[in-house]
Chain A
């Protein structure tokens, strides 16, 4: 594999080879972490930390697993730790969204999510919907969130996701359907809350 050759060079201390890997994976990792913790600034910091850890621990990486899986695992661990500590630290807490109270005036409906192309002002609307979905993702339990991000956003197979999550493929499937169900419920709830809000108006 191409990655593996580059990794071997990087292992020998070739900083340029590592830069190649860094450039190839920084965005996937950044997006993974962003979806995971829902805060852009923190996601960037954690992405940097991920690559620093990867560089200093390259000697521990064994080519049995894909290099990308290894990176995702480091990132996932950092994200989980971050979320655990974040619950005590309001400063870095991702934007608080309470499905029971509506703060934003955005319109959300399953039709809108399902067919975003219908809307004329596509880009602006996409952004809105993206923010809402991210808020819903933020409310998923960590292990379900991980499965949803890896399989439905990163579009990895059960097997690849299982390697990153260090579990069996069927566990990924199980977490995935529960994550999807919970996510659909959350979005549904947000939509209904919106309707009630409108009715009140």
Chain B
């Protein structure tokens, strides 16, 4: 049998480091193996001889020398001890105040801090990167990285250089969380030419070759920037909601809120001499520009255009039922002109009870059928339903909806009651002044009670002096003399 045990095994065995099983196995082997038994003898002999090495003793005068050295050292230390004592006292105070933290924990903590901070910053920056929120119809996206057109999908993150093309009737919603929402419509070709995401702000540049873009920014947009390049002009966004439509060499822009700065384009051959003219298009205005000419003077939106602008409300993030109505001083007329419509976002459909939704739909259906009696009945039913299922997200809007429909059905008394309820119960709402103004208009136009109307107009002016409806009230009062 070949001897496989080594010097190591014998050494550990002799020191008693092996357990019984190993020891016994080795002992059996050693009994047969002359090499190993020699090894044992060698190690034992070595140990014995090391053990028997004669210990040495210190030389004479060793102790004396030691004490002299020690005293010398203590003396030299004593000279520094005053400084040290002050330092020690200070460090003791520091130690008692600050809980001692092991260095490893400190390193780990600072590492964690750095990682979480950078992660947080990254997450903050990524959060604002625009993505495709929703898409419908024939829409495709071109990415330089993929070098191929692919169909758009929701949640797709956009990158600078992305090209999006839409077919007829298609819709693509682009959202940058907390900053803006944009909607591409119909036949459009748009390029995301620049995208800079900072810690707080996001700079986005769009280039539209043709098509229609709706943009609605939020309060947090302040500090961010957005530029839209069209063949005819450059548009710069100043915290706003607007629609821009590009038809070949013509650019049309309608603004719902805030304002947009339009910058005309000079002909390349005259670029050096020509001045670029900037035009501000404000809320409720529209303007158009054609290639190499200045933009038209901004004009008020027409009714038809105004209606189309209301689509922008669908882009806002608030999960709230929305009464589709403008903010200008003529909104009373708009409100009383035809039954108002409400927009119910998908997000709120989960909050609104189904019975209420069905009731609203039945009112809308009755209006379409133009059966005034049915409209009145359905609206009454809706009123009952709202009393049964009230909700802060939709109470005011639906009450206004009801009032508008009761007026439409010529039930002025009921309409006045509902408007009065809105004005009294929701005095801080956007619609309180509108309700009051509408009441006055109903008294004046339909009930022919001019004194009552005057009284309400005056109340409105004192209660909501800055509102668009107060401006309207002043106009009416002054026209009456």
Residues of A whose CB lies within 8 Å of any CB of B are 22, 26-27, 30-31, 34-35, 40, 43-44, 47-48, 51-52, 55-56, 110, 113-116, 126-127, 129-130, 133-134, 148, 151-153, 155, 158, 173-174, 176-178, 180-181, 183-184, 187
Chain A binder among B11-19, B138-146, B172-180: B11-19
Q: How far is the CA of A52 from the CA of B15 in the complex (A)?
A: 35
A/B interface sample: 19 pairs, CB < 8 A: A22-B66, A26-B62, A27-B57, A30-B57, A35-B53, A40-B56, A52-B69, A110-B45, A130-B54, A152-B46, A153-B53, A173-B15, A173-B17, A176-B15, A177-B12, A180-B11, A180-B46, A180-B47, A181-B7
Contact across chains for B48 and A114 when beta carbons are under 8 A apart: yes
Partner of B17, one of A115, A133, A158: A158
| CB-defined contacts of A27 to chain B, threshold 8 Å | 55, 57-58
Chain B stretch 28-83: residues in CB contact (< 8 A) with chain A: 41-43, 45-59, 62-63, 65-66, 69-70, 73-74, 77
Contact across chains for A152 and B12 when beta carbons are under 8 A apart: no
| CB-defined contacts of B45 to chain A, threshold 8 Å | 110, 113-115
Q: How far is the CA of A116 from the CA of B77 in the complex (A)?
A: 50
Contact across chains for B66 and A173 when beta carbons are under 8 A apart: no
Q: How far is the CA of A144 from the CA of B76 in the complex (A)?
A: 38
Partner of B50, one of A43, A51, A148: A148
Contact across chains for B52 and A126 when beta carbons are under 8 A apart: yes
Known: A173-B12, A184-B42, A184-B46. A44 touches B58 (CB 8 A): yes
- State how many angstroms separate the Cβ of A133 from the closest Cβ of chain B: 6
- State how many angstroms separate the Cβ of B78 from the closest Cβ of chain A: 11
| CB-defined contacts of B54 to chain A, threshold 8 Å | 126-127, 130
Contact across chains for B8 and A177 when beta carbons are under 8 A apart: yes
Contact across chains for A116 and B52 when beta carbons are under 8 A apart: yes
Q: How far is the CA of A186 from the CA of B50 in the complex (A)?
A: 14
| CB-defined contacts of B63 to chain A, threshold 8 Å | 26
Chain B residue with the shortest CB-CB distance to A28: B55
Q: How far is the CA of A130 from the CA of B402 in the complex (A)?
A: 115
Chain B residue with the shortest CB-CB distance to A169: B17
Chain A residue with the shortest CB-CB distance to B54: A130
Q: Give chain A's interface secondary structure class.
A: helix
Q: How far is the CA of A55 from the CA of B69 in the complex (A)?
A: 12
Using A35-B53, A114-B48, A151-B15 as known contacts, list a sample of 13 further A-B pairs with CB atoms less than 8 Å apart, ordered by residue number in A: A47-B66, A48-B65, A52-B73, A55-B70, A56-B73, A113-B49, A114-B41, A153-B50, A173-B15, A177-B7, A177-B11, A180-B11, A184-B43
Q: How far is the CA of A115 from the CA of B7 in the complex (A)?
A: 22
Q: How far is the CA of A158 from the CA of B55 in the complex (A)?
A: 22
Q: How many residues of B contact A (CB 8 A)?
A: 33
Contact across chains for A56 and B74 when beta carbons are under 8 A apart: yes
Contact across chains for A133 and B50 when beta carbons are under 8 A apart: yes
Q: How far is the CA of A22 from the CA of B62 in the complex (A)?
A: 12
Chain B residue with the shortest CB-CB distance to A149: B50
Q: How far is the CA of A126 from the CA of B48 in the complex (A)?
A: 12
Contact across chains for A114 and B49 when beta carbons are under 8 A apart: yes
Chain A residue with the shortest CB-CB distance to B53: A130
Interface string of B157-201 (1 = CB under 8 A from A): 000000000000000000000000000000000000000000000
Interface-centre pick from A52, A56, A180 (highest chain B CB count, 10 A):
A180
Contact across chains for B58 and A26 when beta carbons are under 8 A apart: yes
| CB-defined contacts of A31 to chain B, threshold 8 Å | 55-56
Chain B residue with the shortest CB-CB distance to A112: B49
Q: How far is the CA of A180 from the CA of B9 in the complex (A)?
A: 12
Q: How far is the CA of A174 from the CA of B149 in the complex (A)?
A: 68
| CB-defined contacts of B48 to chain A, threshold 8 Å | 114
| CB-defined contacts of A47 to chain B, threshold 8 Å | 58, 62, 66
- State how many angstroms separate the Cβ of B400 from the closest Cβ of chain A: 80
Known: A158-B15, A184-B42. A52 touches B55 (CB 8 A): no
Chain A residue with the shortest CB-CB distance to B11: A177
Q: How far is the CA of A148 from the CA of B48 in the complex (A)?
A: 12
Chain B residue with the shortest CB-CB distance to A26: B58
- State how many angstroms separate the Cβ of B225 from the closest Cβ of chain A: 63
Chain A residue with the shortest CB-CB distance to B39: A184
Interface-centre pick from A34, A48, A155, A176 (highest chain B CB count, 10 A):
A48
Contact across chains for B42 and A176 when beta carbons are under 8 A apart: no
Q: How far is the CA of A56 from the CA of B43 in the complex (A)?
A: 41
Q: How far is the CA of A173 from the CA of B15 in the complex (A)?
A: 9
Contact across chains for A52 and B53 when beta carbons are under 8 A apart: no
Contact across chains for B56 and A30 when beta carbons are under 8 A apart: yes
Chain A residue with the shortest CB-CB distance to B55: A31
Contact across chains for A152 and B74 when beta carbons are under 8 A apart: no
Contact across chains for A183 and B11 when beta carbons are under 8 A apart: no
Chain B residue with the shortest CB-CB distance to A123: B54
Q: How far is the CA of A22 from the CA of B124 in the complex (A)?
A: 66
Q: How far is the CA of A44 from the CA of B63 in the complex (A)?
A: 10
Q: How far is the CA of A43 from the CA of B62 in the complex (A)?
A: 11
Give the top 3 A-B pairs by smallest Cβ distance, nearest first.
Answer: A114-B45, A177-B11, A152-B50
| CB-defined contacts of A187 to chain B, threshold 8 Å | 46
Q: How far is the CA of A47 from the CA of B71 in the complex (A)?
A: 16
Contact across chains for A44 and B50 when beta carbons are under 8 A apart: no
Interface string of B423-446 (1 = CB under 8 A from A): 000000000000000000000000
